[in-house]
Amino acid sequence: MIPEIRQQYNESFSNEKYQALLAEIEKDFPSQLDFRVAETPVFVPQSLKIRLLQACNDIIDSLLKDDFKAWTIRAIPANQHVPNEDNHPNFLAIDFAVCRDENGDLTPQLIELQGFPSLYGYQWYIGQKYKKFFYNPKNFNQYFNRLNMATYVEFMKKVFLGGEKAENVILLEIYPEKQKTRLDFEITKQLWGIESVCYTKIKKDGRKLYYEKDGRKIKIKRIYNRLIFDDLLQNFPDLETDFKLTDDVDVKWVTHPNWFFRISKFTLPLLNSPFVPKSYYLSELKEYPADLENYVLKPLFSFAGSGVKLNFTKEDLDAIEDKENFLIQRKVKYEPIIKDPDGNLIKTEIRMLFAWEDSAPRPTLVTNLARLSRGEMIGVNFNKNFDWVGGSCGFFED
């Protein structure tokens, strides 16, 4: 995106350096890396940065409207409603495709948003590795709001722990040691002392929750939630546990599970911004757009892109029985703007990562995540057997 920076980076790049980066990750965290690390960070010019910040503010303004909760109550399935919801999520992730506008300028277009945490530990870690092993231009930063590598850790500690002891805060997942994101869990433990605890290991006594460590029974006061209902219901429908997610228990959720549904694909039709493609609930369309080829079909309640259809017909839509669970969103055209050393062009998506302290009026933009793709869509299934794709980090021009 910044030709002179890209040229200098590519000239300094070597596969030996890339393999050394991967070897150091393996040394630091043996057998924990389970997703592809892209060969390059994304260098974001100031002009695109300004637009990304504007786009995020437009979206957050919509989330803060007085009637937002009333509009999104039906997003929460009745059998998955968790008691004791708070006023806002503790985390917000907003995904943008990098595109070009009618003037040829780089511009973001919203792809998805989540009231759910992302890789807050891993991004801190991988940003340092890119700087260590590859060309590191001056005046570029992966953090926002005057944060740096150290103050980011301190800020996130306040959000995660909320003043509690680290041993009373857990990271909740189902079989965390098997998850593709387990590297992030391990880094989270090293940075903030938060143990990853399997859903099946939690014990309940009245409204209180406990886990065991080193033969001790430890009370849980805050749950850093990484468990997704959709994953649980689809992959473990008959799982018997002492604690059910929908139980009324004496803990602070970080983030409360209801926000996974409220701030999600369900929210897209409620947003109005030049950086948000038009979206429509399928159940509320009296007639379909004439140019369906310019839309993508998305299930409202799925994760990690499952169920998304890029190509479909009117007949396909008519055949959907539960139309209330789907939307159509106008397609965006990713602009391939990252050039690899062989001259191939690569698409990118940037996820802006926010953290929201319990008492704060607005979330704070803290860092970012980037993903590179040669395929039709961003994601592992569309990028098999390619290089210069996968998870990355954006460095933004000051």
Which residue(s) pair with 84 in the sheet? none
- What are the backbone dihedrals phi and psi of residue 187, each rounded to the nearest 5 degrees, phi first? -65, -40
pTM of the model: 0.94
- Series of mean pLDDT values for 10-residue runs along the chain (398 residues): 92 96 98 96 97 98 95 91 95 97 96 95 98 95 97 98 97 96 98 97 97 96 93 87 94 96 93 95 93 92 72 93 92 94 95 95 98 75 75 96
Amino acid of residue 74: R
Over residues 67-92, the pLDDT tens digits come to 999 999 989 988 899 999 999 999 99
3-state DSSP assignment of residue 170:
strand
**What letter does residue 48 receive in the DSSP assignment?**
H
Give the start-to-end residue ranges of the domains of the chain. 3-277+332-397, 281-331
* Whole-number pLDDT of residue 302: 67
* Whole-number pLDDT of residue 138: 93
- 208, 233 in Cβ contact below 8 A? no
Start-to-end CA distance of the chain, whole Å, equals 15
Helices 182-192 and 149-161, packing angle to 10 deg: 90
Alpha-carbon gap, residue 142 to 41, rounded angstroms: 10
What DSSP letter does each residue of 311-329 carry, written as one string? S--HHHHHT-S-GGGEEEE
Alpha-carbon gap, residue 99 to 344, rounded angstroms: 17
Alpha-carbon gap, residue 316 to 224, rounded angstroms: 39
* Whole-number pLDDT of residue 307: 77
Over residues 160-207, the pLDDT tens digits come to 999 999 999 999 999 999 999 999 999 999 999 999 999 999 999 999
Cα dihedral sign, 281-282-286-290 = positive
* Whole-number pLDDT of residue 232: 87
Alpha-carbon gap, residue 7 to 11, rounded angstroms: 6
* Whole-number pLDDT of residue 379: 58
Buried b (16+ CB within 10 A) or exposed e, 234-262: eeeeeeebebebeeebebbbbbbbbbbbb
Residue 61 CA: distances (Å) to CA of 11, 76, 158, 177: 42, 21, 24, 38
E strands, 66-186, are 91-100, 106-114, 140-141, 169-173
